[in-house]
Amino acid sequence: MNDIRFVVSPRIMGEEKFFGPGIAMLLHRVEEYHSIRQATLSMGMAYSKAWAIIRRAERELGFPLLVTTTGGSSGGGAALTVEGRAFLERYDRFCALVNAHAQADFEAVFGPAPASQE
């Protein structure tokens, strides 16, 4: 069993799935680029799909994730709201905890990863 690994991708559910790795990456990219359009371009995601998943998450959470400004001479932009940033940080922390526990469980079942042969 060479180089086997596991992947855990936590998703948060309400009436339907509304938050997971995809929207988390999108929000991180919005923070990086200060633009929804640039975030979607960097991910190869359709702009309309980004808005659909953002709206679904906002509906389930009951608060806005982003604040946007319309373009113009100074250009538009986007930023996470205080609540959006706090939720994203909590999601990231939860993912780190889940992965740490899963790594320990994986090694208990399958054994530790082999030492690299460099």
Give tens-digit pLDDT for 90-109: 999 999 999 999 999 999 99
Please spell the DSSP secondary structure of the chain, one letter per residue: -TT--------EESSSEEESHHHHHHHHHHHHHS-HHHHHHHHT--HHHHHHHHHHHHHHHTS-SEEEE--STT--EEEE-HHHHHHHHHHHHHHHHHHHHHHHHHHHHH-PPPPP--
Fold classification of 16-109 (topology level): Arc Repressor Mutant, subunit A (1.10.10)
Q: Is the pLDDT of residue 117 over 60?
A: no
pLDDT of 82 over the 70 cut: yes
pLDDT of residue 61: 96
Which pLDDT score is estimated for 115? Answer: 64
Segment 36-61, tens digit of pLDDT: 999 999 999 999 999 999 999 999 99
For the chain, the structural domain boundaries read 16-109
pTM: 0.86
